[in-house]
Amino acid sequence: MASLVLITTALLFVFYVAPDDANQGFSQRIFYFHVSIAFTAYVCFAAGAWKAFRHLWKRDPRADLESYVWVHQGLIFGAMVLVTGSIWARISWGRWWVWSEDELVLFLILYLFYCAYFMLRFSVDPGPQRANLSAVYALFGVVLIPVSFAAIRLAKEVLHPRVFTLHGPNFGGWILVTYCIAQAALLVLAYTLYRVELAGKRLDLRLRELKEVLA
């Protein structure tokens, strides 16, 4: 419910309150969700890595499934980043994708890396070995997040706008307020979807165990 209210508020702010950007005009409005979704994807991957770390360190029996669900959320949000980013690129650069842009390519590498997480996970039978392999892989993936985030700041030739610099966000006023609301909305949405998916997965597991007992 909170995510629904926040998303609606964010959309109202994006389309009715936030002013047009001086350089990009109306197309800049994609950024409120595009940047928020990208940050949310990073948070999901980081949360997946944290749960993976807990699995390896504390042997927390719930952590493997939680890590998997966070990575899955990150992949869904990552797909949205790629699609919304491509749409923005089409408006601003006249192309859907620019291979010379480090930020774009690194995010694609990060995305494909996590796609391979699922290939690895489902190629091993369920059990401790699968949980350990998945956890190590998720921990490796998290290293790519700061690389992806820093790429735009280290790149020599930059087409992709710098939304955040070392001195803080590159915007203020209503644009900042709208961005903060959109960011909060997407973080809450990701957490809500995570809780729902996790509950479904746990129920599925318990049902399978129960079926085996009754069989």
Partner 1 sequence: MTNAEKYVTAAYCVVFAVVLAYVLIIALKLQRLEREVDELAGRTPAAEDEEREAAPVG
Applying CB under 8 A, the residues found at the interface with partner 1 are 11, 25-27, 29-30, 33-34, 37, 76, 79-80, 83-84, 87-88, 90-91, 189, 193, 196-197, 200, 203-204, 207, 210-211, 214
Task: Identify whether the C-beta of residue 184 lies closer than 8 Å to the C-beta of residue 6.
Answer: yes
Closest distance between partner 1 and the C-beta of residue 26, in Å? 4
Task: Identify whether the C-beta of residue 106 lies closer than 8 Å to the C-beta of residue 144.
Answer: yes
Instruction: Output 54 or 202, the one with its CB closest to partner 1.
Output: 202
Instruction: Output 85 or 137, the one with its CB closest to partner 1.
Output: 85
Task: Identify whether the C-beta of residue 35 lies closer than 8 Å to the C-beta of residue 163.
Answer: yes
Closest distance between partner 1 and the C-beta of residue 132, in Å? 27
Instruction: Output 88 or 111, the one with its CB closest to partner 1.
Output: 88
Task: Identify whether the C-beta of residue 74 lies closer than 8 Å to the C-beta of residue 48.
Answer: yes
Total Cβ atoms within 10 A of residue 103? 23
Beta-ladder partners of 169: 164
Closest distance between partner 1 and the C-beta of residue 140, in Å? 26
Closest distance between partner 1 and the C-beta of residue 168, in Å? 26
CA-to-CA distance for 19 and 173, rounded, in angstroms? 10
Beta-ladder partners of 165: 168
Beta-ladder partners of 25: 21
Instruction: Output 26 or 140, the one with its CB closest to partner 1.
Output: 26
Instruction: Output 9 or 84, the one with its CB closest to partner 1.
Output: 84
Closest distance between partner 1 and the C-beta of residue 36, in Å? 10
**How is residue 133 written in tokens?**
């392999």
Burial of 120 (0-12, 13-18, 19+ CB in 10 A): middle
Instruction: Output 150 or 196, the one with its CB closest to partner 1.
Output: 196
- Look-up of token digits 């915007």: 171
Task: Identify whether the C-beta of residue 78 lies closer than 8 Å to the C-beta of residue 106.
Answer: no
Closest distance between partner 1 and the C-beta of residue 52, in Å? 22
